[in-house]
């Protein structure tokens, strides 16, 4: 892979293009010719990659596990789990299927009503995967919760989602659930995964429940439009929303696993996201299993050296992670990574936040391959825009839409309609043409809000972006985070990426601060690299760097140095909170805020 010379132009566009050559691909990528694959693609034809239920219909768990268990992959490793203490467990497709069916049948035997909601509050342990796939097999709706949530966020989500079953651990039960149990009228059963055989009154033990299950359970007829998953958004811009997804979503998971992650039969795939967030489900559970590859699950939290060791020792070939983690690795520098052997690593992808060009290049330096940014949301259920194995990477761009996905830059008109902006590199809202299989089918209890996301044939994402003349999309910022200064709309991403170019800067976040003359001015919060001391001189140097690169209108006027930035538990920088605190405004919903004490500690299952 070769980085060409920097070209001039906008700051993001000035990074060297990474050219892909055939010798860069140890295996032939599924998407070799973007235009031709797109032109030939149809969702109907793609359906041939799935099996469908024997009696008709489509069920996520059947596609992910059971079809392999009765086919050629029965004895292949499906899950390779590494526990916090280094213990290991592997489950073949046949073994996983047996456990999953047992759990499905045991759940059914509890007498739950059709479509009942099963909430999961577990760390990344094998039981989480079994419970999720089991509940889907039995046609219950699964809502995974991030295991570090406190009692209040758990209660709010379970009340909203009318959870009938909760699967958790004794420890989490005691610390987070016991105190709210009385406030959850819909909750009928609590299943506890107790390793030690310990029992808790008023709950059912995992082993006891499983023992009641029958592995000959048959997945009932499932309509592709039956609800399957309820995922809460990250709460980056406000109160989290409950996005509802159906079994048909598995077709998107299949197609994106094929083209965006380029999964091949012998891959060892590692998605670092926690299934408490949508990435950890769509790509930490479903997509790799649908493709019949070996899915690595690591229970431990982020630690750069541990991750490097795992990548090497487990011979990971496709790795899907997030900018927060990449930036933390960058902080430590590429030298540490160079001690390891990453020769098995074929494809690196990132999602969740804009990936700064520095991050893409770090991949090249530390792993010999660039990170491939891709874009999607809880609402889209799967990857929508991506950089592909065989396509040149323009660092700072999120790539091009998946085959089957129509993306556009649009402007909302006063009459509520939208106009597609055809001119290249003009900012507008990123919109997707309705109707891809994993499109969310509603916001739980918020019909009006759901309706407002659509205009005519378009779903409006709430993100601002640009599209260049080659059809690559460039993220500008969330509509809520864009800064209006002296008649200009300033996207935080470009400013933050520019700040990160400065050798002293590890991370940056910018906000708009009211200014009597300009309306708003750009204020930056900067985290310095380890060992760099803040000083007035450094502040001036960073400001000067930004002015040279961005010009006086767009460059920050103020910089505050911080030890860390507020983020969601899913690892996203919360600019709205920086702004509220700066302006002394109410802080809003903080249910997903990673607490400040934890902010400098290892990340809780970093992910989109």
Interacting residue ranges for ligand ATP, rule: CB under 6 A: 233-238, 240-241, 351-355, 373-375, 377-378, 398, 461, 463, 475, 478, 570, 572, 608
The DSSP H or E segment spanning 434 is none
Q: Which stretch binds Mg ion (CB under 5 A): 83-91, 227-235, 279-287, 364-372?
A: 227-235
Nearest approach, Cβ of residue 287 and ligand ATP (Å): 16
Least Å distance, CB 236 to ligand ATP, is 3
CA dihedral 430, 435, 440, 446 (to 10 degrees): 80
Classify strands 318-321 and 268-271 as parallel, antiparallel or unpaired.
Answer: parallel
Nearer Cβ to ligand ATP, position 63 or 274?
274
Closer residue to Mg ion, CB minimum distance, 253 or 478? 478
Nearer to ligand ATP, 240 or 403 (CB): 240
Residue 29 or 240 with smaller CB distance to ligand ATP: 240
With beta carbons less than 8 A apart as the criterion, state whether 391 and 20 touch.
yes
Q: How far is the CB of 478 from Mg ion (least distance, A)?
A: 7
Smallest gap, in angstroms, from Cβ of residue 588 to ligand ATP? 10
Q: Which residues does 302 contact at the CB level (< 8 Å), separation at least 6?
A: 272, 325, 328, 602, 603, 605, 606
Give whole-number Cα distances, 527 to 301, 510, 542, in Å.
Answer: 22, 12, 12
CB of 462 to Mg ion, least distance (A): 6
**And the tokens for 582?**
């700066």
When the beta carbons of 143 and 498 are compared against Mg ion, the nearer one is: 143
CB of 347 to ligand ATP, least distance (A): 16
63 binds, among ligand ATP, Mg ion, none (CB under 5 to 8 A by kind): none
For tokens 């160079």, what's the residue?
338
465 binds, among Mg ion, ligand ATP, none (CB under 5 to 8 A by kind): none
- Residue 98 or 279: which CB sits closer to ligand ATP? 279
Alpha helices in 118-168 (DSSP H): 126-137, 151-161
Q: Following DSSP, what letter does each residue of 551-595 receive, concatenated?
A: -TTTS-SEEEEES---BBTTS-B-HHHHHHHHHT------TTBPP
575-602 CB burial, b ≥16 within 10 A, e <16? bbbbbbebeeeeeeebbbbbeeeeeeee
354 binds, among Mg ion, ligand ATP, none (CB under 5 to 8 A by kind): ligand ATP
| Whole-number Cα distances in Å, 106 to 479, 494, 602 | 46, 52, 37
Q: Which does 375 bind (CB under 5 to 8 A by kind): Mg ion, ligand ATP, none?
A: ligand ATP
User: Which range touches Mg ion (CB under 5 A), out of 73-81, 232-240, 548-556, 574-582?
Assistant: 232-240
> Alpha-carbon torsion 495, 500, 504, 508, what sign?
positive
Q: Closest approach of Cβ 374 to ligand ATP, in Å?
A: 6
* CB contact at 8 A, 34 and 391: yes
Nearer to ligand ATP, 391 or 398 (CB): 398
Decide whether 59 or 378 has the Cβ nearer to ligand ATP.
378
Question: Count of CB atoms within 10 A of residue 335's CB?
Answer: 9
Measured distance CA(500)–CA(524) in Å, rounded = 11
463 binds, among Mg ion, ligand ATP, none (CB under 5 to 8 A by kind): ligand ATP
Closest separation in Å from C-beta 592 to ligand ATP: 8
In the complex, least distance from residue 480 CB atom to ligand ATP, rounded to whole angstroms: 8
Q: Which does 428 bind (CB under 5 to 8 A by kind): ligand ATP, Mg ion, none?
A: none
Please, what's the b/e burial string for 202-220 (b: 16 or more CB within 10 A of its CB; e: otherwise)?
ebbbbeebbeebeeebebb
Q: Which partner in Mg ion, ligand ATP, none is near 134 (CB below 5 to 8 A by kind)?
A: none
Stretch that binds Mg ion, among 188-196, 202-210, 225-233, 392-400 (CB under 5 A): 225-233
* CB atoms closer than 10 angstroms to residue 193: 23
Contacting residues toward Mg ion, per CB under 5 A? 233
């Amino acid at each position: 892979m070769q980085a060409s010379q920097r070209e001039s132009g906008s700051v993001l566009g000035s990074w060297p293009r990474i050219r892909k050559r055939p010798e860069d691909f140890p295996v032939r990528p599924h998407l070799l010719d973007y235009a031709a694959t797109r032109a030939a693609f149809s969702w109907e034809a793609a359906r041939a990659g799935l099996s469908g239920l024997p009696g008709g219909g489509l069920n996520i768990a059947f596609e992910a596990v059971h079809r392999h268990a009765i086919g050629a992959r029965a004895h292949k490793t499906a899950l390779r789990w590494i526990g916090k203490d280094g213990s290991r467990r592997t489950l073949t497709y046949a073994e996983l299927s047996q456990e999953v069916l047992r759990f499905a049948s045991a759940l059914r035997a509890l007498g739950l009503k059709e479509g009942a909601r099963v909430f999961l509050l577990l760390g990344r342990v094998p039981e989480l995967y079994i419970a999720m796939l089991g509940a889907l097999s039995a046609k219950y709706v699964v809502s995974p919760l991030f295991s570090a949530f406190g009692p209040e966020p758990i209660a709010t989500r379970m009340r909203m989602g009318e959870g009938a079953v909760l699967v958790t651990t004794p420890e989490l039960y005691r610390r987070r659930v016991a105190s709210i149990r009385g406030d959850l009228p819909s909750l009928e059963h609590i299943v506890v995964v107790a390793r030690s055989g310990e029992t808790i009154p008023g709950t059912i033990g995992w082993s006891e429940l499983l023992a009641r299950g029958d592995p000959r359970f048959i997945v009932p007829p499932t309509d592709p439009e039956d609800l399957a998953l309820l995922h809460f958004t990250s709460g980056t811009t406000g109160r989290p929303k409950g996005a509802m997804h159906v079994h048909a979503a598995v077709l998107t998971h299949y197609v994106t696993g094929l083209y965006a992650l380029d999964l091949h039969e012998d891959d060892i795939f590692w998605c670092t996201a926690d299934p408490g967030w949508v990435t950890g489900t769509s790509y930490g559970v479903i997509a790799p299993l649908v493709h019949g590859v070996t899915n690595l699950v690591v229970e431990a939290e982020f630690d750069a050296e541990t991750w490097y060791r795992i990548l090497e020792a487990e011979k990971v070939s496709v790795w899907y992670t997030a900018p927060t983690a990449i930036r933390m690795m960058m902080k430590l520098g590429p030298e540490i990574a160079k001690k390891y052997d990453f020769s098995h690593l074929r494809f690196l992808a990132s999602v969740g936040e804009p990936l700064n060009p520095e991050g893409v290049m770090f991949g090249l330096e530390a792993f010999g391959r660039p990170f491939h940014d891709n874009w999607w949301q809880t609402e889209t259920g799967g990857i929508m825009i991506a950089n592909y194995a065989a396509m040149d990477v323009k660092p700072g761009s999120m790539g091009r839409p998946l085959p089957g996905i129509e993306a556009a830059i649009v402007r909302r008109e006063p009459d509520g309609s939208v106009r597609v902006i055809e001119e290249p590199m003009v900012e507008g809202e990123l919109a997707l043409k309705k109707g891809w299989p994993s499109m969310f089918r509603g916001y739980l209890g918020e019909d009006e809000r759901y309706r407002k996301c659509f205009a005519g044939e378009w779903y409006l994402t709430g993100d601002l972006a640009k599209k260049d003349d080659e059809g690559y999309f460039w993220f500008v910022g969330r509509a809520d985070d864009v800064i209006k200064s002296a008649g200009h709309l300033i996207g935080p991403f470009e400013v933050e990426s520019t700040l990160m170019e400065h050798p002293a800067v590890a991370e940056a976040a910018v906000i708009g601060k009211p200014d009597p003359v300009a309306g708003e001015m750009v204020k930056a919060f900067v985290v310095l690299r380890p060992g760099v001391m803040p000083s007035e001189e450094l502040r001036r140097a960073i400001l000067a760097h930004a002015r040279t690169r961005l010009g006086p209108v767009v460059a920050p006027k103020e910089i505050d140095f911080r030890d860390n930035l507020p983020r969601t538990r899913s690892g996203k920088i919360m600019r709205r909170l920086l702004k509220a605190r700066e302006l002394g405004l109410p802080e809003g919903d903080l249910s997903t805020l990673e607490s400040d004490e934890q902010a400098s500690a290892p990340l809780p299952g970093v992910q989109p």
